[in-house]
């Protein structure tokens, strides 16, 4: 998603991992870990010109 | 996650429709039966886990808090100012819209967009009960029903990952933001390409 924001023209793209995010069900959590699934907080700005 | 799941176009179209239906069903279930069990944490427990201020959660209508199904806290970096126009993409039962509305105050306003018209009406009712000016539009995030350069800030919480066309969604956000406008979104990403079995499973995709 970071790359998609930059490709669209956004500037000052920042990404931080959301601490504490997890799926509630163990089976989903295990599968998600295998794929490196994370929650992130993304910020970006549209250029002024 | 990549923009489009690795399917041929003729395979993707019907699957996208099925997934849209599953997304609608699952989040309506969270709204109508928040006491139920889901793949994800939700409600006050989830909001507290992500650092939502207790004062917000005590002050917001219980129905908006109980149906919260976000994956983080976009308010941590939104830096909202009085008078700003905010879009809450995938506004659900309205908790994030309400919190944004309190920050932009009576001179600002919040616009919600949600796939589900029932959720839109619910979010508007919760916002009105919270003293927040909010209008919610039924719409798809790939084709947001708002004019160009009409919004100061976009917030969103756990929604864009549900789209098959993430690149289109991001372009839409760029289009409707004013020059200098900002976004603060929390969402799910994966380091690896999801397997076709997951992509083809509407229940897993929707969760």
Answer yes or no: is pLDDT of B183 > 60: yes
Burial code (b: 16+ CB inside 10 Å, e: under 16) for B80-92 equals: beeebbbbbbbbb
Which token pair is B56? 């917000």
- The C-alpha atoms of residue A34 and residue B75 are separated, in whole angstroms, by 29
Contact A39 B179 (CB under 8 A): no
Cross-strand bridge partners of residue B136: B112
- Strand B177-189: give its sheet, edge to edge: A11-17, A38-45, B177-189, B151-157, B85-89, B109-114, B134-138
User: Any idea what DSSP says for residue B149?
Assistant: T
Q: What is the pLDDT of residue B9?
A: 47
H runs (alpha helix) in chain B: 9-32, 43-49, 54-59, 62-66, 95-104, 117-129, 166-176, 196-199, 202-206
| B160 interfaces chain A, CB cutoff of 8 Å | yes
Q: Between B3, B37, B192, which is nearest A4 by CB?
A: B3
- The C-alpha atoms of residue B93 and residue B65 are separated, in whole angstroms, by 8
Chain A residue with CA closest to B191: the answer is A36
- The C-alpha atoms of residue B132 and residue A22 are separated, in whole angstroms, by 31
Which token pair is A39? 């929650």
What mean pLDDT is predicted for residues A25-42?
80
- The C-alpha atoms of residue B199 and residue B205 are separated, in whole angstroms, by 6
Chain B residues in contact with A20 (beta carbon < 8 A) = 49-50
Q: What percent of chain B has pLDDT over 90?
A: 64
What are φ and ψ of residue B18, in 5° steps?
-65, -40
Q: What is the pLDDT of residue B3?
A: 46
- The C-alpha atoms of residue A13 and residue A7 are separated, in whole angstroms, by 11
**Which stretch of B40-44, B150-154, B178-182 has the lowest confidence by average pLDDT?**
B40-44
State the ipTM, two decimals.
0.89
Residues 3-22 of B with CB under 8 A from A: 3
Contact B184 A41 (CB under 8 A): yes
- The C-alpha atoms of residue B164 and residue B160 are separated, in whole angstroms, by 9
What are φ and ψ of residue A14, in 5° steps?
-130, 145
Cross-strand bridge partners of residue B140: B143
Global pTM reads 0.85
Answer yes or no: is pLDDT of A47 > 90: yes
């Amino acid at each position: 998603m970071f790359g998609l924001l930059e490709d669209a023209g956004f500037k000052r793209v920042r990404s931080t991992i959301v601490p504490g995010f997890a799926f509630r069900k163990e089976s989903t959590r295990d599968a998600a870990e295998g794929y490196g699934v994370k929650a992130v907080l993304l910020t970006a700005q549209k250029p002024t010109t | 996650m990549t923009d489009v799941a690795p399917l041929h176009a003729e395979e993707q179209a019907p699957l996208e429709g099925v997934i849209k239906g599953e997304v609608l069903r699952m989040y309506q279930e969270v709204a109508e039966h928040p006491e139920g069990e889901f793949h994800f944490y939700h409600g006050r427990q989830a909001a507290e886990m992500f650092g939502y201020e207790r004062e917000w959660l005590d002050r917001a209508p219980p129905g908006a808090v109980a149906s919260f199904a976000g994956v983080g806290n976009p308010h941590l970096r939104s830096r909202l100012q009085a008078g700003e126009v905010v879009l809450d993409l995938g506004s659900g039962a309205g908790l994030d819209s309400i919190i944004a509305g309190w920050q932009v105050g009576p001179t600002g306003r919040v616009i919600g967009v949600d796939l589900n018209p029932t959720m839109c009406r619910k979010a508007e009712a919760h916002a009105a009960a919270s003293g927040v000016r909010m209008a919610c539009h039924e719409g798809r995030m790939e084709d947001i029903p708002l004019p160009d350069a009409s919004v100061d800030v976009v917030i969103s919480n756990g929604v864009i990952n549900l789209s098959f066309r993430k690149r289109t969604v991001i372009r839409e956000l760029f289009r409707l933001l004013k020059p200098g406008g900002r976004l603060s979104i929390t969402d799910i990403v994966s380091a690896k390409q999801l397997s076709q079995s997951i992509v083809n499973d509407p229940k897993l995709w929707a969760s």
